[in-house]
Structure 1
């Protein structure tokens, strides 16, 4: 005898409780890291060391595909020249697992596609390139895309730098990110080469994207904490930090 809708929903919540009780993180299920990621990152580092610019660009694009195909529920992964812009990668899905990914990343139900741009330039991403993706998401992908991601070597202009003092003002791409989100409620974040190093373990992509997205609201002025070291995500003054 087939189960009623209420019975199916009840089993779903019971299963989620079991996951929680066993300490099993859903993030580790929603992102399964490809075993080849570390190998391709090593190849990218070698290409950069040897100043093989074109090869580095190709390898970065390959890493992007390896990373984002690891998201559960991906049903469509495309790279093509449309009637207008070139899309480095457009990732989407429609089933239950993709809905879980979308919910984890704070995406609206009707804007669950992710558009990804790979930029293998040595300089930080300039304002012009950031503005181009804003335009694509607001015009060509108005109905479908809720999250844009730049995968870069050295971040973007205006974003907090690693091992630098807390940033107290915003400018350049960082300012555009904030204004675009306030105007459209869509999200654009930036990953750099250091972020890529973390993505060879299950669950890390989801965790990293969540931290980047949350920081868009918090504007801590600090670079995103490492997923590998949860203590780096503590941001307290000294008189409070000593209590941890």
Structure 2
């Protein structure tokens, strides 16, 4: 009898043969991210920090290190990761740079809409209480365009999102500004992608497959521009319909 690892390996090889638009790819994508056993404890500590009204300078510094640890635990759980680095280059500091060269990573790239020549992912961890500002977003755009030419996906891991992005429990956003505007213009000009994960996204990433689900939804929304925050990773369907259509959908589910 085949072991679970052998079965997953067979699935991954089959996924590699699928076209990127094939719906079967998303059904198997949950096997591309495995949760590290240490992640939940780190997320519990992060939740405790976010509930502090007036954290001290030391607590804020520790939260920054904790967020970087969470980032490492998340992205080393992706299938096919062979290169994982955090270093000061001749210019910028890179919080995390991940990539791979085998079939597993190729399927991850296909699932995340990345071209193979732009298969690297760069992640920036920002533990500030305020939303990410445009100048920080612009810095990552510059890094991806001028320094890390092989990076196709940039990810900000933050506590409170970024300026200009839809907020949870808000009405549909119709205007585009700040970091959201820069994200769209950068993608249109370079075909490279930058997305933002906030603390509420992070707290959802405790089951296998959830990181892949969260990233694909945020990447898709870059094209759709729904004006709404992306649904939680564990909510396996995204239904955004006007009332006269939703009633028909709901009647069958």
Q: TM-score, normalised by structure 2?
A: 0.86
The CA distance in 1 between the partners of 2:234 and 2:83, in whole Å, is 29
Structure 2 equivalent of residue 135 of structure 1: 142
Match of 1:169 among 153, 169, 175: 175
The CA distance in 1 between the partners of 2:216 and 2:232, in whole Å, is 12
Structure 1 equivalent of residue 207 of structure 2: 201
Match of 1:156 among 159, 162, 165: 162
Question: Kindly tell me: are residues 60 and 79 of structure 1, through their superposed partners in 2, closer, same or farther at Cα, counting changes over 3 Å?
Answer: same
CA deviation string 1:115-167 (max 9, x = no partner): 0000000000000000000000000012x100000000000000000000000
Partner SS state of residue 118, structure 2: coil
Question: Kindly tell me: are residues 122 and 14 of structure 1, through their superposed partners in 2, closer, same or farther at Cα, counting changes over 3 Å?
Answer: closer
CA deviation string 1:73-107 (max 9, x = no partner): 00011000000000000001000100000000000
Matches within 5 A, 1:11-90: 13=14, 25-50=27-52, 51=55, 52-90=59-97
- Give the deviation of 1:47 after TM superposition: 2.9
Partner SS state of residue 241, structure 1: helix
List alignment gaps of at least 5 residues for structure 1.
1-11
Would you identify which runs of 4 or more consecutive aligned residues in structure 1 move more than 6 Å?
Answer: 14-17
Partner SS state of residue 201, structure 2: helix
CA deviation string 1:177-207 (max 9, x = no partner): 0000000000000000000011110011111
Query: Alpha carbon RMSD of aligned pairs, Å?
Result: 2.1
Answer whether contact 1:48 1:56 (CA < 8 A) is retained: no
Structure 2 equivalent of residue 242 of structure 1: 247
Structure 1 equivalent of residue 112 of structure 2: 105
Q: TM-score, normalised by structure 1?
A: 0.89
The CA distance in 2 between the partners of 1:119 and 1:106, in whole Å, is 25
CA deviation string 1:182-237 (max 9, x = no partner): 00000000000000011110011111100000000000000001122235x10000
Partner SS state of residue 159, structure 1: coil
Match of 1:94 among 96, 101, 113: 101
Answer whether contact 2:16 2:107 (CA < 8 A) is retained: no
- Give the deviation of 1:28 after TM superposition: 2.0
Count of aligned pairs between the two proteins: 228
Q: Which moved more, 1:182-191 or 1:27-36?
A: 27-36
